[in-house]
Structure 1
Amino acid sequence: MKYLIILVGLVVIYLLAYVASNGRNRIRYRPLLVMIVLQIILAFLLLNTEIGEWVIRGFASVFVQLLAYAGEGINFVFGGLANEGQAPFFLSVLLPIVFISALIGILQYIRILPIIISIIGLVLSKVNGMGRLESYNAVASAVLGQSEVFISVKKQIGLMPKHRMYTLCASAMSTVSMSIVGAYMTMIDPKYVVTALVLNLFGGFIIASIINPYVVSKEEDLLEVKEEEKQSFFEMLGEYILDGFKVAIVVAAMLIGFVALISMINGIFNSIFGISFQQILGYVFAPFAFVIGVPWGEAVEAGSIMATKLVSNEFVAMLELGQHTGLSNRTVGIVSVFLVSFANFSSIGIIAGAVKGLHEQQGNVVARFGLKLLYGATLVSFLSAAIAGLFL
C-alpha cells in the first residue's frame, strides 16, 4: 500500500511541476527517468544495504571527529559558560561551522575541492542532459553554499539568459552547504542528512527539467570557473574563519527572530481561534505529507513541521521535529529528508542579494522569479522525501 501511495505522490509532484512549466512541449523525459531511477537506486543503497550503512557511518564519523576538534576551540574560548554536562545550541551546533568553514577553505586553497567539483559536475552533465555550468553549479552549491557559489561563476552570470539563471539558482536553493552539514547531524539522524544530500542533487535537475526545460548548445556550454585572486595561506584561512563565524551569527539571529515570531503568531491564533498557526499550516500540508508516505494519523503533525521549514528555515523545523517524540521512525525519516535543503522564503532574498552583488540586472531577474524558485525547490524536497519513503 505504501508503494501505491508514494507512486501517487510522485505523480502529484510531477503534475505540480508540469502546471508551472514554461515549456511543456520541450520536456525531455528520458533524462528524467534516468535520474529518477538513479535516485531510487541510491536511496536503496544508502538506506537498505550494508554498503550504504558503511558509507553513512564513515561520513558521520568524519563529522563527529570534526565536531570534537571544533569543540576544543569552542571550549578554549567559552569554557565554563555552559553548565556542566550541558551546552547551549549556539556553542554546540552553530559555532563548529567556523572550524568546518576553515577546512573547506584549506581544501579550496590546495585545489582539491575544485577538481572534485569539476569532475562530478562533468559526470552529472552526461546524465542530466543539461549544461556543464549547471552541473558544476549544483555540486559547488553543496560545498560552498547558496550565496558563495555564485562568486565562482561570476564571469558567466552577466551572460546567462533567464532560463539558465533559474536552474543555477534552483540548484543553490535545493541543496545545503557542507559547512553546516555537521550542525544538521547533531539534530537529526546522519543517514537522513547524507541521503537528502545525494537525492537533492538529482532532484534539483528533475524538477528544473520540468518547470524550466531547455537545451544548451555546444557553443553555450562553456565552463569557465573564476579563479580567485591568489591570497597567502593565512589570508585565506582568516577569511574563511570569519565567513564561518558570520554564517553562525546569521543563523543564530534568524533562529532568535523566527522562533520568537512563530511563538507570538501561535499565541495570537490560539487566543483568537483556539488553534495555533502551525496547526493550521499542518492541515494545509497534511495531504502532501500523506502522499509522500507519512501515515495519515501523523500527517498533520508532519505537515506542520514541513510548513515551519518553509516559512522560517530548516534549523527551526529540525528543532520542532526534535520536540515531536511520538512520531514513528518512518515519519521522522521522511520529514528529516524533506528538511535538509535551503528551500524557504528567506533564501529568496539571500540568493537574489548574492547575485545582485555581482550583477545588478541579473539580481533583479532572480528576484522576479523568486516565488517560482521557492516553489520548485520545495517540490525537490518533496521528491527526495518521497523517494526515501520507499525504503523506510
Structure 2
Amino acid sequence: MSQVNSSLEVLTHSNRNIHHTLEIGDPEIGPDPKKVPLENGISGGLTGMLENFHIGTNKALQRNRKRLELLCYVILHGLLIGYFSWATYYFLEYSDSTLDTTTCSGYGFLMILFIFINFGIIYYWLIKPFVIPIFNNLLWKPLSKEISKLLTIRFVKLLVYLIIFAAIVIYLIYDTSDNRRRLIPAIGLTLFLIFGFLFSQHPGQINWNLVIWGLLIQFAFGLLTIRWDVGRNIFECLGNKTTIFLGYAMDGSAFVYGDYLVHEIAVFAFQALSTIYFLGFMINILYHYGIMQKIVVTIGEFLQLVMGTTICESSNSAANIFLGMSEAPLLLKPYLSDLTASEIHSVMTSGFATVSGTVLAAYISFGAEASHLITASVMSAPAALCYSKLLVPETEKIVATKESISLTKSEYTSVLDAASKGASLALEVVLGIISNLIAFIAFIFFLNGILSWMGELVGYTGVNVWSVERFVGYIFMPVSYIMGVPWDECEDVGRLIGIKTIINEFAAFKELGKLNLKNKRTKVIATYAICGFSNPGSIGIMISALSVLMPTKRHVVTKLVFRAFIAGEIVCFMTACIAALLIPEKLL
C-alpha cells in the first residue's frame, strides 16, 4: 500500500513539473506574446500603449475628480451668469414688458430661477456647512431646549394651543359676519377628526402635536392661497410650469403612438401614463448626479421641522402637490423599502388626497377653476400627513432618516445607465397600472350591471336606475351639508362625490360642469371635495406602483391601502371645509 502511494506521489510530482515546463519554458509552445511584459512594466505594441494611456488617464481623472467637478460647476455657473447678463441687457434695452407681467413666463421668471439657483449654491456651500452650525450652537439649540422644557409643562402647552385656537375663532367670527352659515364647516371638520380618532389603529400612540400642527399649516396655506392674491398666483404659476414640463412626455408619446391617440382622443394609457416614462427617466438622472437627494433632504428638513413628520413622507406629500400617486413615490425610490407601515400609509394617503398637474387641464376643460384646483392640492398636502398619522400612528423605528438619505450614492455606472433603467422601471409601473385599472373599473361596472337589473325588476329604470355611485351619493348627502352646502343642493353634491368615489374624479368634474347649481359657493365646495384621486381605479394604481417600487413591502401596501383610500377621501372633505370657512362672498 505504501509503494502505491509512493508511486502516485512521484507521478503527481512529474505531472506538475511537465505542466510547469510546458507553460513557462517549452520553446515550441512558448508563452503568449501578448502577455509578455516589457522591462518597464508596460505592454508592448501600439495596442498596449493605447491601453496603458487609457489606464493612466483614468487614474489621473480619479485623482482629480473633485477638482474637475468643481471646475465644471464654475464653468456652468459662469455661463449662467453670462446668459443672465445678456438677457438683462436685452430686457432693459429692447423689451417693452415689465417684471410684473413676466414673472411666470419671461424675464421675470428667469430672474426668479437665477435667484433660487444662486441661493441654493450659497446655501449648500456656505450657509449649511458654516452658518447654520454656528446659529444652532449659539442660539437655536439653547432656545429650543428652553422652549421644549416649557412645552413639557402641560399647562403651558395647553395655554399655547388655547391662544392659537382663540385667535382662529376670533378671526372666523369677524370674517364670517356677512354669512354665519360659513361656520357650519367647522362642525364638519370636528366630526372628521373624531371619526379618525375612533377608527385609529393605535389611539394611545397618536402624536397630537403633529395632528394639531398639520391642521394649523393647512389653515395657514388656505389663507396664503385663498385670501392672498400673490400666494394664489405663485402656486398657479408653479402648477402651469409643472403641466408644461409633463406635457413634453405627451410629445414623445405622440411620436410613438400618433397624434390621434394622444392629442385628439386622449387615450388614458397613451397620454396620462406616458408621463411616468418621462419622469422615471429624468428622476434617475437627477439621482445619479445627487440633485434629487438634495431636494428630498431640503424639503423633508423643512416639513420635519414644522410638523415633526419624517423626511420621506414629508417630501412625498410636497411632491404630490404637482405629481400623481405613481410619479411622486419615484422621488423616494431608493428609500421606499426602508419605510415603516405608518410612513407607507402616509405616502398612499397623500396620493389619494391630491391630484397631479397632468390632469389639471382636463378638469379646467370641464369648467373647474384653476386657482381652486391648485389651492386644493396645496392645502391637502399637510392635511394628508395630519390625518394619516391620526389613523395609523407611528409605532416603529424610523430607518430612512436625514443622515441615511443624504449619504445615499448612485448605483448606476453612467448617466445613460441611470436614464435607461429609470425608463425600464417606469414600464413595469405602467403595465401594473393598466392591468389593475381595467380590473377594478370592470368590477364596478359588473356591480352596476347587477344593481340596474335588480332595479328594473321593481320599476327603477332610466334616470332612476340603480347604481353603486347613486347609493353612495345618498350616503354623502349629510357629509355635503356639514361641509357647508345648502340642503337643497346636497343631493347634487353627494352624487358628485359618489361618482368620484366609485368611478373617478374625471367623471365627477365632467358632471359638475353640466350641473346648474344656484349657489356659487356650492360649486366651489364641490370642487374641493372631489379634487383627489380617491377612487377604486386609483387603488389599483397605488397597489401596482408601490408593489413594483417596494416589492418587499407589498403585504403592507395591500393591508393599508383601503384605510389610506378612506383617509384620502376625508382629507378632501377637510380641505373643502377649510375653503368654505375662508372664502368670502366677494371672492366667489
TM-score band w.r.t. shorter chain: 0.7 to 0.9
1:204-247 deviations in whole A, cap 9, x for unaligned?
Answer: 11112211223776777356456665442874796699799879
Alignment of 1:95 onto 2:275:
no
Change (3 A) 1:7 1:155: same
1:240-280 deviations in whole A, cap 9, x for unaligned?
Answer: 99799879978996898589668756754663453343433
- Supply the AA of the counterpart residue of 1:370: V
- Local SS of the residue matching 1:369: helix
Change (3 A) 1:255 1:89: farther
Alignment of 1:175 onto 2:354:
yes
Change (3 A) 1:38 1:269: farther
Structure with bigger gyration radius: 2
Question: Does structure 2 conserve the Cα–Cα contact (< 8 Å) formed by 1:348 and 1:367?
Answer: no
Change (3 A) 1:177 1:108: farther
- Supply the AA of the counterpart residue of 2:299: I
Change (3 A) 1:317 1:254: farther
Q: Which moved more, 1:211-220 or 1:326-335?
A: 211-220
Residue 537 of structure 2: aligned partner:
346
Change (3 A) 1:222 1:38: closer
Alignment of 1:1-392 (within 5 A): 1-59=180-238, 61-62=240-241, 87-90=264-267, 95=271, 98=274, 102=278, 105-106=281-282, 109-110=285-286, 114-142=293-321, 145-150=324-329, 153=332, 156-187=335-366, 188-214=368-394, 221=401, 224-225=404-405, 230=412, 231-232=415-416, 235=420, 264=449, 267-268=452-453, 271=456, 272=458, 274=460, 275=464, 276-277=466-467, 278-326=469-517, 328-360=519-551, 362-392=553-583
Per-residue deviation at 1:67? Answer: 8.5
Question: Does structure 2 conserve the Cα–Cα contact (< 8 Å) formed by 1:56 and 1:190?
Answer: no
Change (3 A) 1:365 1:56: closer
- Local SS of the residue matching 2:507: helix
Change (3 A) 1:30 1:207: same
Q: Which moved more, 1:14-23 or 1:28-37?
A: 28-37
Change (3 A) 1:319 1:250: farther
- Supply the AA of the counterpart residue of 1:347: S
Change (3 A) 1:179 1:264: same
Higher RCO structure, 1 or 2 (CA under 8 Å, sep 6+): 1
- Supply the AA of the counterpart residue of 1:133: C
Q: Distance in 1 between matches of 2:400 and 2:539?
A: 27
Question: Does structure 2 conserve the Cα–Cα contact (< 8 Å) formed by 1:98 and 1:248?
Answer: no
Q: Which moved more, 1:7-16 or 1:124-133?
A: 124-133
Question: Does structure 2 conserve the Cα–Cα contact (< 8 Å) formed by 1:117 and 1:139?
Answer: no
- Local SS of the residue matching 2:355: coil
Q: Distance in 2 between matches of 1:17 and 1:5?
A: 19
Q: Distance in 1 between matches of 2:531 and 2:569?
A: 11
Q: Which moved more, 1:234-243 or 1:4-13?
A: 234-243
- Local SS of the residue matching 1:333: helix
Q: Which moved more, 1:339-348 or 1:175-184?
A: 175-184
Question: Does structure 2 conserve the Cα–Cα contact (< 8 Å) formed by 1:98 and 1:241?
Answer: no
Q: Distance in 2 between matches of 1:28 and 1:186?
A: 41
Q: Which moved more, 1:141-150 or 1:282-291?
A: 141-150
Question: Does structure 2 conserve the Cα–Cα contact (< 8 Å) formed by 1:130 and 1:215?
Answer: no
Change (3 A) 1:65 1:217: closer
Q: Distance in 2 between matches of 1:218 and 1:90?
A: 41
Change (3 A) 1:62 1:97: farther
- Supply the AA of the counterpart residue of 2:271: L
Question: Does structure 1 conserve the Cα–Cα contact (< 8 Å) formed by 2:222 and 2:579?
Answer: yes
- Local SS of the residue matching 2:348: helix
Question: Does structure 1 conserve the Cα–Cα contact (< 8 Å) formed by 2:243 and 2:358?
Answer: no
Question: Does structure 2 conserve the Cα–Cα contact (< 8 Å) formed by 1:290 and 1:299?
Answer: yes
Q: Distance in 1 between matches of 2:540 and 2:495?
A: 23
| Unpaired segments ≥5 residues, structure 2 | 1-179, 584-588
Count, aligned residues: 388
| Unpaired segments ≥5 residues, structure 1 | none
Change (3 A) 1:72 1:386: same
TM-score (norm 2): 0.56
Per-residue deviation at 1:14? Answer: 0.6
- Supply the AA of the counterpart residue of 2:342: H
TM-score (norm 1): 0.79
- Local SS of the residue matching 1:390: helix
Q: Which moved more, 1:256-265 or 1:279-288?
A: 256-265
Change (3 A) 1:328 1:43: same
- Local SS of the residue matching 1:195: helix
Per-residue deviation at 1:285? Answer: 0.5
Q: Which moved more, 1:131-140 or 1:15-24?
A: 131-140
Percent of aligned pairs sharing the same letter: 22
Q: Distance in 2 between matches of 1:367 and 1:75?
A: 34
1:314-364 deviations in whole A, cap 9, x for unaligned?
Answer: 222222222223353322222222222222233333333333335555212
Per-residue deviation at 1:367? Answer: 1.4
Q: Distance in 2 between matches of 1:20 and 1:78?
A: 49
- Supply the AA of the counterpart residue of 1:173: F
Change (3 A) 1:25 1:258: closer
Q: Distance in 2 between matches of 1:74 and 1:349?
A: 23
Q: Which moved more, 1:334-343 or 1:348-357?
A: 348-357
Per-residue deviation at 1:115? Answer: 3.5
Change (3 A) 1:195 1:151: closer
Per-residue deviation at 1:88? Answer: 3.4
Per-residue deviation at 1:122? Answer: 1.7
What is the root-mean-square deviation of aligned Cα atoms in Å? 4.1
